[in-house]
Each structure stands twice: as structure tokens, then as C-alpha cells.
Amino acid sequence: MTTLQDLHAQQDQSPWLDNLRRDYLRQGKLQALVDQGIRGVTSNPTIFAKAIEGVDDYDEQFGTLLRTMGVEDAYWELVIADIIDALAVLRPVHDASEGVDGYVSLEVAPSLAHDTRATVVSARHLHERIDLPNLFVKIPATAEGVPAIRTMIGERHSINVTLIFSLDRYAEVMEAYVGGLEDAVAAGAADLSGVRSVASFFVSRVDTEVDRRLETAAGQAADDTSRRALLDARGTAAVAQAQQAYQRFLAVFTGPRWEALAALGAKVQRPLWASTSTKNHAYPDLAYVDTLIGPDTVNTMPDETIAHFLDHGTVARTVDARPDQSGAALARLESLGIDMSDVAETLEDEGVASFAKSFDELMQSLTDKANTLAAGR
């Protein structure tokens, strides 16, 4: 048993891979990771940009596609081909877990982040285009994304909700999921067991932004005591907020309202810890993994973090070990002048912009490649 396998067997947390590349599929690396205990895959526009740019793995298919379609449509065909192949690798996990794991996530175009209607149309199209039970379509948890999530759940499509940075927005996401299930019942659904969802709560980026604000405030502090208090609070925001999110998850998925849906086969919307690589190398390399272990959760990790966890990860329940301490940590940050709502708004804007930038740069790279191929012909 690897530590990844122990994580699931002992603590009911599912380790997923936050990466997807065509060479992982062709060379068997994804299958090897699954054999070691990886139980799902997440992707985003930045991941695909890194996968496609600077390699020739996609050139043959891309050249063929350009004979009948434009660059952006060809991009989606490249991505969908990888997703379908990854879905095949993960399908045995999906079947063996009875639909709990084995998912591969594909995100709608980042340009749709603030367009509810277009997000619904795109998410519906992707589900219809691929039509496999272990596909998650990713929808960002923007103000405009939340109603699209409810619509998709109401239509009984499985959704990975991404870019969650605050407890308040997380509450809206859970309400969209539960409300969407209730909409499905109102429309005549008698079996909700096929609807699955995860709520991707981003972690390390929160510390990056909060630490920046603490250091700025420390530089302006009136005395050494205040300065030290600000600097000592670095690295405390992200895990505390995620642990408090888990408390909210436990509260929502209990009680009469949820039990009525569970009686029809509904499954909880699992919290997924995303952005769990350590951005600040002064912190432990598993700072956002070892501290967030608990049942009914997912941790999606990039390759390096997976390697660290296989080497020296600790398998122990930690996500709800001391909820009073995580609450106190957030209260302390507030007392130091950190506005977590403003932090979340900043990070959401940056996240949407980052994915859009990666997408636009990839489109330009593919356009350049298309022009080169055309000149060669």
C-alpha cells in the first residue's frame, strides 16, 4: 500500500492529479499514478496550455483538424481527445467506487466566467459531446457561475465547481447544489444517485495574498510589537479557512432538508482542496495536504506534491481536529485588519484573468503553428 492508497483506505480522502498531458496517456504515466492510488484528474486552461505548447504530441491531430475547422474549434477537439482517453483510464476506478471517484474534469472557456447563460450552454454541450458518466464539467464559482451550477445540477449533470476562495461563496455553492437537486426532484426526478459534484476550495493562493498584505502592513507598523504580530500571522489563513469550510460542509449535509434528498439517492458535494502545492518554500512542502485530511474530501495535487506525499506524507485525520483554533486564526487575522472577503474578491479576479491569459496565449501559439503548417503545405 502506498501513502496515497492509505489516504483513501484509512481516511476516506481521495487523492487526485491536478495535471493532464498527452504523453502521460501515451506513455502510461497516468495509469502508473492510478496504480499508486490516484483516483481522479483535474485540468484547467493553464494546464492544457503547458501541455500543448512547445511539444509535437498534438501536431498530427492539429494539422488534420485544421482542414475542416478553425484554430479554436481544433483546440477543443485536442482537449476533448485527451479528456476521453483519461476518462477511459479512470473508468475502472469510477466503476469500482460506484461513482464516488474516477472523474476527469474539463473546464468551460474562461471567457464565460461572467456569463451565466453562455456557461450553461457550454457546460451542457460538453456533457452532451462527451457523454460519459465520469466526466466533471468545471464551472467557476463567480457570482454569474453560481446560478449556472444550479441549472446544471437541476438537469442532473455532474459539476466540479472551481475557483472558490471564500466561506460566503462556498455557502452559495452548496446552496446551488442542494437547490439544484431539489429542482431536479420538482421536475420529476426520482433517483438522484447519478448526480455528483465537488466544490473546489482553493488553498495556497489564500496564504500568498494574505501574507502579502500582512507584510505590507508590517512595513507600516508603528512599533515592533505590532510588526511582529503581523508577521507571526503569516501562513495561518489558508488552512484555517479550509478547515472552517469543512465545518460548513458538515452542517449543510445533515438535517431534514438533506435527508429528504439523500433518501432519493443524493450524494454529498465533497469539498475538494485545490491549489495545494506550497508556493512559499519557507513552508513545509505538504503544508496544504497533511493539514486537510478527512472523510468525504478530495485533494487534487500537482505531480511534485504527489511525489512528496508518496515519500513522506502523514496519513491522519486533521481537517477537523481543532475547529476552534481555525476559527480563532481567522478572527485574529480580522483583528489585524485582513479583510478576507476582499482577499477572496482579489483572488477570484486574478484566477479568472490568469486562466483567460493562458487561453489567449495558447490560441495565439496555435494560430502561429497553423500558419507555419499552412506555409509548409
Distance CA 367, CA 377 (A): 15
Say if residues 306 and 38 touch (Cβ distance below 8 Å).
yes
The predicted structure's pLDDT at residue 257: 98
The predicted structure's pLDDT at residue 375: 81
Specify whether 357 is catalytic. Answer: no
pLDDT, one tens digit for every residue, the chain (377 residues): 999 999 999 999 999 999 999 999 999 999 999 999 999 999 999 999 999 987 889 999 999 999 999 999 999 999 999 999 999 999 999 999 999 999 999 999 999 999 999 999 999 999 999 999 999 999 999 999 999 999 999 999 999 999 999 999 999 999 999 999 999 999 999 999 999 999 999 999 999 999 999 999 999 999 999 999 999 999 999 999 999 999 999 999 999 999 999 999 999 999 999 999 999 999 999 999 999 999 999 999 999 999 999 999 999 999 999 999 999 999 999 999 999 999 999 999 999 999 999 999 999 999 998 998 888 76
Distance CA 364, CA 377 (A): 20
At CA 139, angle to CA 339 and CA 130, rounded to 5?
Answer: 165
What CATH number is given to the structural domain containing 103?
A: 3.20.20.70
Cβ neighbours of residue 177 under 8 Å, at least 6 residues apart? 149, 150, 153, 161, 197, 199, 269
CA 280 and chain centroid, separation: 20
Each residue's pLDDT tens digit, 314-336 = 999 999 999 999 999 999 999 99
Query: How many domains, in total, are found in the chain?
Result: 1
Which residues span the domain enclosing 327? 3-376
The predicted structure's pLDDT at residue 54: 77
Q: Tell me the three state secondary structure of residue 20.
A: coil
Distance CA 43, CA 175 (A): 25
Cβ neighbours of residue 69 under 8 Å, at least 6 residues apart? 77
Catalytic residue, candidates 50, 138, 267, 357? 138
Say if residues 145 and 112 touch (Cβ distance below 8 Å).
no
Say if residues 299 and 276 touch (Cβ distance below 8 Å).
yes
The predicted structure's pLDDT at residue 374: 83
Each residue's pLDDT tens digit, 117-156 = 999 999 999 999 999 999 999 999 999 999 999 999 999 9
Say if residues 200 and 145 touch (Cβ distance below 8 Å).
no
The predicted structure's pLDDT at residue 377: 62
Task: Report CA-CA distances (Å) from 262 to 15, 157, 161.
Answer: 25, 17, 20
The predicted structure's pLDDT at residue 55: 85
Residue given cell 472577503 in the structure block: 341
Cell of 73: 474549434
